[in-house]
Amino acid sequence: KKPDILCLSCYLWNILYVEQLITEIHKVLPKMQIWLGGPEVSYNAVSVMEQYPQVTGVMCGEGEETFLELMEYWNQERESLDTIKGIVYRENGTCRQNPPRPVMDLSKVPFVYDHIEDFQNKIIYYESSRGCPFSCSYCLSSIDKCLRFRNLELVKKELQFFIDHEVPQVKFVDRTFNCKHSHSMAIWTYLKEHDRGKTNFHFEVAADLLNEEEMELIASMRPGLIQLEIGIQSTNPETITEIRRKMNFEEVKRIVKRVQEKGNVHQHLDLIAGLPYEDYDSFRRSFADVYALRPQQLQLGFLKVLCGSFMYEHTEEYDCHYQEREPYEVLYTKWLPYDDVLKLKDVEEMVEVYYNSGQFVHTLPMIERLYENPFDFFQELGDFYRAKGYSEAAHNRIQRYEIL
């Protein structure tokens, strides 16, 4: 195609490919401009430009309006780059950094799914708010303190489009969907009233913010209309305080159980290994606390140290070492040695295979009676897999059962 300009969004999951691509493609298309954007380059744009002389410029932060103004410049509708906020670019051999761009009105972001046929058999991502009211130290959303909401009438019209086209699943990417009660109530009420029995909507929520009105509405919904993802991360109070997270675990427990009573909502609970003040025994306790809530999915994640986050700035203090390549996952910390990280990796795999698969719902409760803490069962099972070399091969369901 030999484009004049190549623009690439840079994320945790593709930055390695982007770095390889811009290095090699420049050799065959030396005159082509290369522009980057996205969270992987927004917080260290100048160093990215210094490291990759092939890159013409970087769009920092929100890209929608910046990209449009760059298009106008490339289309000769703007005289110079110095009028465009939120970019770093080369001028006469040096990097020039323009002032940052103010956050935009979220209602001005175009709806991108008009050609829904292009998204057959794909999960649809949708955004009704941007930013986050919380300051979790490991998360880039904590940097953007400007929480904004898309116009509700616009949101309803766009959700109706998904319902009418019988899209199987829509995942809201809002960082804390229920941080504004009137917003979440309006959307959930609309989905309930216009449901056609086909589309599932996924929301990431703070459980301890759910109030009585919201829980009653959730309880009245069709089974499978919505599913909730709840990031607990740890139940160690010292850890929760250190990562600047606000959470009352007793209240979370009460609400998770309350939502479960009706049996109509799939709940997905998350833990993160490698956080400050969380050693192996502490994580074992956190696991037991969350496992006792019996979510449909229990996700064991590992800390990712993201450039620009508070955690990134304090790695020395935590003696936190992580992979230099994406996804920048923790290797060990002051509290959690590398050997323990490897053991937790085994637990993660066993939980995925035996719990999250939903294939051993009768056997697991029987086995759990033999253990004071179910974590110990998954750890022993992981040790058994490793000792026998079972982790090296794929197994069908019957083989998994025979191993168990």
Instruction: Name the one residue in this structure whose structure tokens are 């309880």.
Output: 219
Cβ neighbours of residue 94 closer than 8 Å, sequence gap 6 or more: none
Cβ(299)–Cβ(314) below 8 Å = no
User: Would the CA dihedral through 133, 135, 141, 144 be positive or negative?
Assistant: positive
How much is the average pLDDT of 349-374?
95
Contacts of residue 320, defined as CB under 8 A and 6 or more positions apart, other chains included, come to 274, 276, 303, 305, 311, 314, 330, 332, 333, 334
Q: Which residues contact 249 (CB under 8 A, 6 or more apart)?
A: 232, 235, 240, 289
> What is the rounded distance in angstroms from the CA atom of residue 167 to the CA atom of residue 170?
7
- Per-residue CA distances from 315 to 162, 246, 273, 309, 404 (Å): 43, 21, 15, 10, 39
Mean predicted confidence (pLDDT) in 233-256: 91
Query: By three-state DSSP, how is residue 65 classified?
Result: helix
- As a whole number of angstroms, the distance between CA 248 and CA 259 comes to 17
Q: Rounded to 5 degrees, what are φ and ψ at 102?
A: -65, 150
The pLDDT of residue 53 is above 70 = yes
Tens digits of per-residue pLDDT, 155-203? 999 999 999 999 999 999 999 999 999 999 999 999 999 999 999 999 9
Strands 33-37 and 57-59: parallel
Q: Which of 183, 122, 119, 117 is nearest to 156 (CA)?
A: 183
Spatial separation of the C-alpha atoms in residues 263 and 117, rounded to whole Å = 33
Mean pLDDT of 261-284: 96
Is residue 143's pLDDT more than 70?
no
* Pair 331, 303: CB distance under 8 Å: no
Q: How many CA atoms are closer than 13 Å to the CA of 94, on its beta-carbon side?
A: 3
pLDDT score at 310: 87
Mean pLDDT (the chain, rounded): 94
Q: What percent of the chain has pLDDT over 90?
A: 87
Q: In what order do the strands lie in the sheet with 94-97?
A: 5-9, 33-37, 57-59, 87-91, 94-97
Gap between the Cα atoms of 161 and 31, Å rounded: 42
Q: Averaged over 2-29, what is the pLDDT?
A: 95
CA distances for 220 relative to 3, 57, 212, angstroms: 53, 51, 12
Q: Where are the alpha helices (DSSP H) in 244-337?
A: 249-262, 280-291, 310-313, 315-318
Amino acid at residue number 326: E
Mean pLDDT of 369-377: 96
